[in-house]
A and B are shown apart, each in its own frame.
Chain A
Amino acid sequence: MPLTNITTLRRCRPLGKSCAASMAETNFFVQADRFEYQRNKGSNALLWDGQGWIGGDYNRFWLKTEGEYLGEAGKLEDAEIQGLYSRPISPFFDFQAGVRQDLQPGARRTFGVVGVQGLAPYWFEVDAGLFISHDGDVSAGVETEYEMRLTQRLILQPRAELNFALHDVERLAIGPGLSTAESGARLRYEFKREFAPYIGVAWVRAAGATADFLRRGGKTPSNLSIVVGIRFWH
């Protein structure tokens, strides 16, 4: 029984939804969390780490990309892109599932991804994922960031990332267990909230069997760099 005019309004169905639902907004967000030049003894690299989403409050499509280009060697060391469907499972966390494609030459792999991303207590931003490659290799990664607001504009952001592999992938020099650990601290100045240059340090260490692979190949398992970059979003 129609109670009121608005009940009739709710029954109008443009595009198959009720009018009220079609008033829900679609928003988007893109961010380059790291976009930097890294330098350590004798070598340099360009690194990017960006993500973005489009959608409403309950359903979003996320795109994440990360990669590293080595200056001297002139090659793409790492490049990956993930396309994920995201849905909130709690006030502060989203569940994400989708596909990841590694693009660097010699290591092109496709993975299925499931993960969670959100804000953990005490303001730690957490992004965790489980990856299953098309060859059946299982790996996982978790990264966390924390923002220390030294002033309204000067922010120190420590960051840590751990990557695990369940299986070893010899051709890519990845061993089982903890494969790499990264950490870093970046100090940025937000001229505008959306645009902030930063400087910092970044430390990458291969662990366990992965480190052995590297040593056998004549490379050092750990690497400390100075970084300079820009963080921006829209």
Chain B
Amino acid sequence: MKDAGAAAPSSADPHAGHRQAAAQAAAAEDPHAAHNHGSPAAAAAEDHSAHQAPATGEHTGHAGHSMPGMGTEAPMDGMQRHDHPNGPGNSSVAMQPTNRLNEPGTGLENVPHRALTYAQLKSLDPNPDLRPPGREIELHLTSNMERFMWSFDGKKFSDGVDPIVFYKDERVRLTMVNDSMMAHPIHLHGMFFDVVNGSGDHKPRKHTIIVKPGEKLSVDITADAVGDWAFHCHLLYHMHAGMFRIVSVLDRKPEARS
């Protein structure tokens, strides 16, 4: 079990609460504090580089289930949301999307040499924006390999999809769930994102991240560049087949501020 080692409370499904919009929770506390899925004692333990902490708790914008002040707000049904269209363009669904940042990748699991993982990556300098994300957007990487159809949320770009909207200077968490059986290097133009891998204030800043099959990972984005930016799988055959979206960063109108 990839999440073994996390001292999760017995009743808590390690994946419970992913669906939560995480607005309050994330704003309330540092989202990466609870690496161990709710064991309060471990919340203080920041240094995870020594042991490749499997459960780095990215799916917890809502911190641990036992955090004071949270109560039992986190939904405990444990089911991953899959409400994107399930037509011919989407032939597979990840039944239990998990954190795979500590895995080196297909074929490198048993090599005799050290293979580095995303969980070991940290930035040298502290992250410029340390705010917790104000909202979370979940995006599914979907496919039908037999037909060579690749998409986000079951819809190809040419199906006429809405852009993903951010507001200027917003701090957003983008969570990606890979429902396909291929690893996809997902690339965002115009902005860097911080990979939520348990590195605290030193999250690695990247613009492309490989999402492994069945993986669920989160990146925090500070939308500092107004405009329409490309967001796509960097396997260009996939991009060309529809795995493409536009990320629109808008100037926030004063009255739209919530």
The interface of chain A, by Cβ under 8 A from chain B, is 3-7, 10, 18, 20-25, 57-58, 88-92, 119
Contacts and interface: CB of A to CB of B under 8 A. Distances in A.
A5 B228 contact: yes
Nearest to A93: B88
12 contacts: A5-B248, A18-B160, A22-B158, A25-B241, A57-B88, A57-B89, A57-B156, A88-B87, A88-B88, A91-B89, A91-B144, A92-B91
B250 A58 contact: no
Interface in B227-248: 227-228, 240-242, 246, 248
A10 B160 contact: yes
Contacts of A92: 91, 146
Given A20-B157, A24-B158, A25-B240, A58 B248 contact: no
What are the 7 closest A-B residue pairs judged by CB atoms, nearest first?
A91-B91, A88-B88, A24-B158, A4-B248, A23-B158, A20-B160, A6-B246
A90 B144 CA distance: 10
B113 interface: no
B146 A91 contact: yes
Interface size band for B = 20 to 34
Given A57-B149, A91-B146, A119-B146, A3 B89 contact: no
Contacts of B147: 57, 88, 91
B24 to A, nearest CB: 26
Contacts of A22: 158
A4 B157 contact: no
Given A91-B88, A92-B91, A4 B158 contact: no
Contact of A6 (B89, B158, B240, B248): B248
A22 B157 CA distance: 11
Contacts of A24: 156, 158-159
B90 interface: yes
B227 to A, nearest CB: 8
Given A24-B158, A91-B144, A6 B163 contact: yes
Contact of B250 (A4, A10, A119): A4
Given A57-B242, A91-B91, 9 more contacts: A4-B248, A5-B227, A21-B158, A23-B157, A23-B158, A57-B88, A89-B88, A91-B88, A91-B144
B4 interface: no
Nearest to B143: A91
Contacts of A10: 160
B228 A6 contact: yes
